Each structure stands twice: as structure tokens, then as C-alpha cells.
Amino acid sequence: MRISIIVAASENNVIGRDGSIPWHLPDDLKYFRKKTEGHPVIMGRKNFESIVKALGKPLPNRENIIVTRESTYEADDCEIASSLEEAIMYGHKDNDKEEIFIIGGGEIYKQAMELSNYLYLTRVHAWIAGDVVFPEIDPEVWEEVEREEHPADTKHKFAFTYITYKRKNRLHFEV
């Protein structure tokens, strides 16, 4: 089973500021859509609300699974889970060969590092001020298996690199 984190982080590991993402990189958004479309996506309640604020709806063509401690939380067309482990079980319930994506934000990523075996990082080549960060990627745990550069251009203020990491050891988590 593949449990994948997907994230974009600056050189100083910033991923968010004031409830949203502090850059606009259209090709990275396309990459995110291409990777995650058709798959379950797991997100923290705060990330979910920032997506709805931006799009006016949950992410289309994906099963949206929201993690919250609020037992009465409701959102149309979404699954609600009371822990990340429960969210992963929901994601696997129809197809255990499925790739599931954990799409943030910061609190959820911190917990997901122990529970994931793939990590798709878009490293944004800039130092950005922010209030939410991604954890350090431990080279003892994660090995890089692929990378592709994207230059800055008129639509992209910063250059960035898509980097794929794979966990070196087996996951201990089983569903």
C-alpha cells in the first residue's frame, strides 16, 4: 500500500502563512492535481477550510477526508475522521492497492511522517516568511528516487524542484 505525502516547501521549510500558501506556482498546482486526481486525499480541518475558501468547494474528483477532533464536524461530500490513522483506513476501504495522499497542513504532515512511505516534495527555491513549517526530512529514513527542475519564468516567480522520496524501511503501520 502506498501512503504518500505531497507538499510544497520553501528552502526554510515554510509551507503556510495566515492560513494559506505564500506563493502562486501554477505548474505546481497542475502537478498536485495530476498526482492526486482520482485518489483519496487526507487533510487537516484547517487545510480543508482554506481550500474551500479558495475554491468554494472541496477538491473535485477526489475523495476528501477531513481529520478533526470535533465530533460534530460536517462537510458536504466529505468523509470525517477523528484521527489520521482512521482517515487512512477510510482511504483504503474500497481498494487496498490504492495510493492515498496526505495533503497537509503542518499539524497533519508532522504526524504523517511516521505513517507514509512516499513523499512528493516541491522544493521552492526561496526563503519565505511564514507561520507553518514542514518537518526536517531525515536522510536516514528517506531516500531520494527522482528529481525534476522547474525554472522561474513570467508565471513562476521562483524556481522549484519536484523531488520524490521513498521510505528506506518498511512501514510499521498496518490497516
Smallest gap from residue 149 Cβ to ligand NAP (A): 18
Task: Please report, for residues 1, 13, 41, 83, 100, the alpha-carbon distance to residue 164 in angstroms, rounded to integers and kept in the order given.
Answer: 17, 16, 18, 26, 15
Q: Does 108 bind ligand NAP (CB under 6 A)?
A: yes
Residue type, 93: K
Give residues 58-87 in contact with ligand NAP (rule: CB under 6 A): 67-70, 82-84
Which residue in 40, 58, 91, 104 binds ligand NAP (CB under 6 A)?
104
Residue type, 5: I
Give residues 6-45 in contact with ligand NAP (rule: CB under 6 A): 7-8, 15-16, 19-21, 44-45
- Closest alpha carbon to 135 in 149, 114, 156: 114
Using CA atoms of 33, 39, 45, 48 in order, give the dihedral in degrees to the nearest 10. Answer: 30
Q: Which stretch binds ligand NAP (CB under 6 A): 94-102, 107-115, 141-149, 158-166?
A: 107-115
Nearer to ligand NAP by Cβ, of 8 and 113: the residue is 8
